[in-house]
Structure 1
Amino acid sequence: MNESVQVIPLLNLALVSIPVLLVIGILWRWSLSPGHAAYALGRMLVQLLLIGYCLMYIFEAENSLVVIAVLAVMVTVASWIALGTIKTRRTVLYKQALISILIGGGLVLVVVTQGVLQLQPWYLPQYMIPLAGMVFANSMNAVSLAAERMNAELERQMSFDQARNIAMRAALIPTINAMLAVGLVSLPGMMTGQILSGISPLIAARYQIMVMCMIFAGGGLSTAMFLEMSRKRFMECKNF
């Protein structure tokens, strides 16, 4: 198979802004705060351009301390964003979210990078950073969904164990749906990217299986830890 990947000229890339602007126009026409979406799009552009340059430096440096620093930033930011659904108590539960995402996602990341892939060196940034981004981002989303649902169920005077079970189930819905749909409805990002770069679909499928298991386990472990570690905090104040 062809192992080269097509380079997208900037002018061609600009074409994708046409349907984006159509959506912004619809939001404006319907008075649905298009400014927030426009801000998110602008921030996305800046962040991706900056991370592109940063990753070039990190990949060339091949320094374990740099990789560890990047992972630390990922976990720190992910833990803060995860509690955005309960902003009034964000600082109260931040420690629990941080520890949960660090241990839950970190454990899965170690198994994948050191057991499945057996990276040499162990911190190989071309693999470590993208995989860490996947597992920590998914753990962040799962914890965020669980925190919001836990808060809502406790406000309905649900017992902690019942609310915890509902929150856990809700947190895993997106990942479980993705596993049910993969290969039938969608080809996920990693598999699509590898196929576009010329890698055999059979090899790409193995990597995608690894990724799906990784994000399911990372999200599940992080959420379970967060809910149990936050038991006292949730019970102390049921109205966030």
Structure 2
Amino acid sequence: MSLVNSIETISLSSLALSLIPALLVLLIFTRWSLNVMHSVYALIRMLSQLALVGYALTFIFAAQNSGTILLILFIMCVASSWIALSTVPELRLALYKYAFTAIVLGGGLTLLLITQGTLHLTPWYAPHYMVPIAGMVFANSMNSVSLAAERLDSELHNTHSYIEARNFAFQAAMIPVINSLFAVGLVSLPGMMTGQILSGISPFIAARYQIMVMAMIYGSSGLSTALYLSFVKPTYARHYS
């Protein structure tokens, strides 16, 4: 079968084979007396979430409704903001509004620029583009805010000044994103580029899309993190006063 015309469907039995490395990692957790149940829960949750989202996206793509898409984006922001603060559970409720605002602004403005300025989506909410791109934007904003939240809290416990703690936190949060910029094309071919090449799109066009994605991820992560670190300063000032 030619990959130019279609992408091979993965059977359930073949999919099961892909879980073997994950099961080996669980075995390592068990043999080394580590918290294996946390990983088991994460894997089960991943499987159930992706199975459900497959059905949900089929409905969303068929609906072609702007209100539905806006609701999906809102849910993404609510969930990503809550998950981002799992690294600082004792301040989660106090900091949630700042994480939410930072992700909405940093991620949302980047999403708006990409979908309406770069891609010129028609209609503006085109689900096949909007939903997966929003997922990449808000997920990476979430990860960076989460790293920044943990590092900021840790640095302030070590009695650094807020400016020093903020700078350390921002640099730490951006390490994974910056590393991905160095690695793309040399160490890895990212998901979007790989998927497009497999579906038969020219590698030159796929490269342009990947450049867009990498710039989008770097921008949304950096903006969301910087906004979060700026918003939370008064809360930490009260907390450590």
The Cα shift of 1:35 comes to 1.2
Partner of 2:46: 44
Partner of 2:188: 186
Partner of 2:63: 61
Letter in 1 for 2:105: I
Structure 2 distance, partners of 1:99, 1:42, is 30
* Among candidates 199, 203, 206, match of residue 204 of structure 1: 206
Partner of 2:103: 101
CA contact (8 A) 1:3 1:199 kept: no
Letter in 1 for 2:213: V
Partner of 1:234: 236
The Cα shift of 1:237 comes to 1.4
Partner of 2:222: 220
Task: Please give the residue correspondences for 1:81-160 in structure 2 after superposition, counting only pairs within 5 Å.
Answer: 81-160=83-162
CA contact (8 A) 1:97 1:143 kept: yes
Structure 1 distance, partners of 2:240, 2:134, is 33
Letter in 1 for 2:19: S
Structure 2 distance, partners of 1:129, 1:6, is 23
| Alignment partner of 1:21 is 2:23 | yes
Identity percentage of aligned residues: 56
Letter in 2 for 1:211: V
Structure 2 distance, partners of 1:168, 1:17, is 35
Structure 2 distance, partners of 1:146, 1:210, is 24
CA contact (8 A) 2:4 2:198 kept: no
Structure 1 distance, partners of 2:224, 2:21, is 36
Structure 2 distance, partners of 1:238, 1:78, is 27
Structure 1 residues 125-146: Cα deviation after superposition (integer angstroms, max 9, x where no partner):
0000000000000000111111
The Cα shift of 1:238 comes to 3.7
TM-score (norm 1): 0.97
User: Which is worse superposed, 112-121 or 220-229?
Assistant: 220-229
Gap runs ≥5 in structure 2: none
Structure 1 distance, partners of 2:219, 2:94, is 26
Structure 1 distance, partners of 2:23, 2:240, is 41
Q: Alignment partner of 1:95: what SS? A: helix
Q: Count residues in correspondence.
A: 239
Gap runs ≥5 in structure 1: none
The Cα shift of 1:86 comes to 0.3
The Cα shift of 1:3 comes to 3.2
Structure 1 distance, partners of 2:222, 2:20, is 38
Structure 1 distance, partners of 2:113, 2:19, is 39
Structure 2 distance, partners of 1:57, 1:114, is 24
Dislocated runs of 4+, deviation >6 Å: none
TM-score (norm 2): 0.97
RMSD: 1.1
Q: Alignment partner of 1:31: what SS? A: coil
Structure 1 distance, partners of 2:174, 2:240, is 23
Structure 2 distance, partners of 1:112, 1:79, is 21
Structure 1 residues 88-137: Cα deviation after superposition (integer angstroms, max 9, x where no partner):
01000000000000011000000000000000000000000000000000
| Alignment partner of 1:12 is 2:14 | yes
Letter in 1 for 2:16: A
